[in-house]
Amino acid sequence: MSKFVKDLLTEDLKRRWEGVDNLILVTIQGLTANGNSALRKQLRDKKISLVMIKNSLARRATEGTPLAAAFENMEGSLAAVWGGEDIVSLAKDVIKLSEEKQFELFAPKGGVMDGSALTAEQVKAVSKWPSRQEQLSILLGQILSPGANLASQLTSVGSALASQIKQKGEGEGEEAPAAEAPAAG
């Protein structure tokens, strides 16, 4: 490959990965053409990008970026996947697809999360974390729970007090006419 072509490919990778902080390296070697096409379609549907890369070009393209850690000790044929909602959802999608029978040759090899290199085992561990949406719902529940408890306690006391006042008011209303009746006679 000529230096001019390498420079063009390097610039293309830099452009694609501009603003990307997290990616996962996978192997897709051995997938049939139909399997590869089906895999790419499923990834596209989830807004995840996949590109086959030459390690030396990827190292040149990521030099000085947070993604550089992903390619430090990698060898062999690799593909990079990035996108999705966050690194956790990306890892969940990669692991889920790798467990499907038709994509058994698709497997994580490593990656990078916030500038730190990940091994294949760490990618599997990250896939078990709660996703961003799950974390937000947990946090929202924790924020709303004390308020809901306080509101229920305040309304239960107020409700009990209102019920007692109502009962007292109804009880006095019945006693008053009975007290007035003997005085009239």
CA distance to 35, 176, 177, per residue, from 183 (Å)? 100, 11, 10
pTM: 0.70
pLDDT tens digit sequence for 82-93? 998 889 999 999
CA distance to 40, 108, 125, per residue, from 132 (Å)? 24, 21, 15
Work out the widest C-alpha separation in the chain, in whole angstroms.
122
pLDDT confidence tier of residue 175, bands split at 50, 70 and 90: low
pLDDT tens digit sequence for 105-143? 889 999 999 888 899 899 999 988 887 788 888 888 888
Tokens encoding 147 = 């308020």
